[in-house]
Copies of this chain bind each other. A is one copy, B any other.
């Protein structure tokens, strides 16, 4: 028998799982109905998870007590992106990369995926075959094996072509000692690349806006980048997060709350490509709230920031961790002013992943 214990540790569950948006003060769930906002990755999602799901499953507030007692990590994600195909990718790519990236930013090397499909009656076989091929190609690219699967069919009008759920198994990398509660004043806030591309590509692909811009989703596996970062600055790395639903703003808010610190971001330092910036301005959305599928935030101790940036080909230092006001994210504008950058409220960008 191996020395893997009889159950995956609660702590891993907390780090990776259902409680990934945990805050210092758990929200209460008193909503009467589910709205699109509950799926947006912002405040309503936090209420649903912290107020209903986490307590029901015996997961309490995030802490980093106790040793990790297994080297395997697990994460799961449902994908309901609309449309199924968009510039730069498709639901199949997302379903692999999204889950692989959750493992990667938790410091776990992705090994294997399970795949569950919910198909709508009438879905044409060519669409399905294209997504199956996209899943297979993304899995090869990310060096993960599909080890289990399931397929269900629902009647016409009870899904949107197909929904995909993937569950990822990874092996914790010993170079990673990460916790969302470990950010300390003075730490640097790094971004792995230009933001807002995935969400903008999806919005444009829907054709709801009379706007034509060449923006492609950034969907890809982040493990190679994380691997390089762990090699260059592992001991100095406090925590990483991929900035998906809710964007960089939501990630920073969650980390600020989990660590009881403030984050200060210099707006001028945040890389946003002109086409994305233009589209977001026209759509009235802050790129910091827009989903990414190939960008992560890394909080790094100041003495490791240089080595970390050297290992990140497109990495940028965008700000720092501060003491006050705890649990909040401030943006320093190009004009020198400061404003609070909150989590998403409502769901301006539904079904982005």
Contacts and interface: CB of A to CB of B under 8 A. Distances in A.
A82 to B, nearest CB: 8
Contacts of A37: 153
A113 to B, nearest CB: 9
A118 B80 contact: yes
A52 interface: yes
A318 interface: no
Interface in A107-145: 111-112, 114-125, 128-129, 132-133, 135-136, 139, 145
How many copies of this chain? 2
A13 B169 contact: no
B171 A38 contact: no
Nearest to A76: B114
Contact of A78 (B74, B152, B169): B152
A119 B150 contact: no
A135 to B, nearest CB: 7
A192 to B, nearest CB: 22
A13 B351 contact: no
A1 interface: yes
A35 interface: yes
B13 A148 contact: yes
Contacts of A31: 125
A118 B163 contact: yes
A209 to B, nearest CB: 18
- Range of interface residues on A (Cβ < 8 Å): 35 or more
Dominant secondary structure of chain A at its interface with chain B: mixed
A304 to B, nearest CB: 25
A171 to B, nearest CB: 7
A228 interface: no
Interface in A151-209: 151-155, 157-160, 163, 165, 167, 169, 171, 174
Interface stretch (A2-10, A246-254, A260-268): A2-10
Nearest to A32: B125
Contacts of A71: 1-2, 4
A171 B71 CA distance: 15
A148 B18 contact: yes
B74 A136 contact: no
A62 to B, nearest CB: 14
A350 interface: yes
A76 B59 CA distance: 22
B155 A158 contact: no
B76 A148 contact: yes
A147 B58 CA distance: 10
Given A1-B71, A148-B167, A150-B165, 15 more contacts: A2-B71, A13-B148, A52-B128, A52-B132, A57-B139, A58-B136, A74-B147, A75-B148, A76-B114, A116-B116, A154-B163, A158-B158, A158-B159, A167-B167, A169-B169
Interface of A: 1-4, 6-8, 10, 12-13, 16-18, 29, 31-40, 45, 48-49, 52-53, 56-59, 70-72, 74-80, 111-112, 114-125, 128-129, 132-133, 135-136, 139, 145-155, 157-160, 163, 165, 167, 169, 171, 174, 347, 350-351
8 contacts: A4-B171, A13-B148, A17-B148, A18-B148, A40-B153, A53-B132, A150-B165, A158-B158
